[in-house]
Amino acid sequence: MTRKGSNFAGLSVAITTPFKDGEVDYDALRAQIEFQIEAGTVCLVPSGTTGESPTLSHEEHERVISAVVAAASGRAKVMAGTGSNSTAEALRLTKWAAKEGADAALLVAPYYNKPTQQGFYEHYKAVAEAVDIPICVYNIPGRAAKNIEPETIARLGEIPNITMVKEATGSLDQASQVLATTDLTLLSGDDSLTLPLMSVGGEGVISVVGNIVPKDMIALVDAFNASDAAKAREWHFKLFSLCRDMLGIATNPIPVKAALQMLGRDTGDLRLPMTPLDEQSQQKLRATLVAYGLL
């Protein structure tokens, strides 16, 4: 079965938003985009969790989306993070992304206010019906405080331009039910679960570790797609410690920004309430990067 979002199969990277002296560093953002395009990344995902979207002003959020679309200039797809726990705000941001030429929008489940399943449905339906671009439903109960149940995702999948789900529940059962009951393209929302999710029908990943080693993540996906299970497992185990630490040492995107700083690719600046890694965590992260062969 060809799934309706399969043109987004492969590696998408949830890019960070570089900051310098408290402001968005657009030169560093453009450098990140060139790095990803050179690596062969299919899709750039700005202004998501990894992009510290909760701390971007409305104007910055829009400008970051516009800057990424302009810099990518058709060489890679752009799936703009436009989610909010306010349907009106999600609508406004998604309309902006569509107007600016984004190829799709990633909408995180409304967080904190914990809608009912019907509320989730109405939220996504309202946005999807207002724009023409494809929508990816981002299900991450660990941040949103509530799961979008598979039955609700199945209902959402009947809406024509809801074409993808970013699966970050950690449940292979949930992923399997979504794949069995919809024609949505499923993308992993956890780097370390990319191979397990692809084994049941997922088609790629929206990656954090791809900020650092996009070519390696592409190699894992390509090996699986070439039916080389041994090679895919080899990449899975090589990447595992790096994937684990990007999400495990501290809250994303604190570790990935620290890693980019160590690799000379970012200032590492964060916005409150995100704070830098302490010395012990920095040493652990540095050891992981050394063990991987990056330092």
Task: Taking residues 178-187, report their average pLDDT.
Answer: 98
Rounded to an integer, what distance in angstroms lies between the CA atom of residue 107 and that of residue 164? Answer: 10
Number of residues written out for the chain: 295
Q: Please, which residues have CB within 8 angstroms of residue 100's CB and are 6 or more apart in sequence?
A: 62, 65, 66, 69, 80
CB 121 within 8 A of CB 87: no
Alpha carbon distance 102, 111 (integer Å)? 24
Q: What is the pLDDT of residue 195?
A: 98
Measuring CA to CA, which residue among 116, 80, 121, 87 is closest to residue 101? 80
- Per cent of the chain over pLDDT 70 is 100
C-alpha span between 213 and 11 (Å, rounded)? 11
**pTM score:** 0.97
Per-residue pLDDT reduced to its tens digit, 126-158? 999 999 999 999 999 999 999 999 999 999 999
* Residue 71 token pair: 């810099």
Q: What is the mean pLDDT of the chain?
A: 97
Indicate the burial class of 83 (C-beta count within 10 angstroms; 0-12, 13-18, 19 or more).
buried
Phi then psi for residue 258, to 5 deg, are -65, -40
pLDDT confidence tier of residue 55, bands split at 50, 70 and 90? very high
What span, in angstroms and rounded, lies between the C-alpha atoms of 108 and 136? 8
Residue range 6-228 forms a domain whose CATH class is alpha beta
Which residues are annotated as catalytic?
138, 166
pLDDT of 259: 98
What is d(CA 74, CA 40) in angstroms, rounded to the nearest whole number? 13
- Is beta strand 10-14 parallel, antiparallel or unpaired with respect to 43-45? parallel
Q: Which residues of 116-136 are buried (b: 16+ CB within 10 A; e: fewer)?
A: eeeebbebbbebbeebebbbb
What single letter denotes the amino acid at residue 234?
A: E
CA–CA distance, 200 with 213 (Å, rounded to integer): 24
Query: Over 90: is that where the pLDDT of 36 sits?
Result: yes
pLDDT tens column, 72-131: 999 999 999 999 999 999 999 999 999 999 999 999 999 999 999 999 999 999 999 999
Output the six-digit token pair for 279.
Answer: 């010395």
Cα–Cα distance, 134 to 185 (Å, whole number): 11
Q: Is pLDDT above 90 for 1?
A: no
Angular region, 268: left φ>0, alpha ψ -120 to 50, beta rest: left
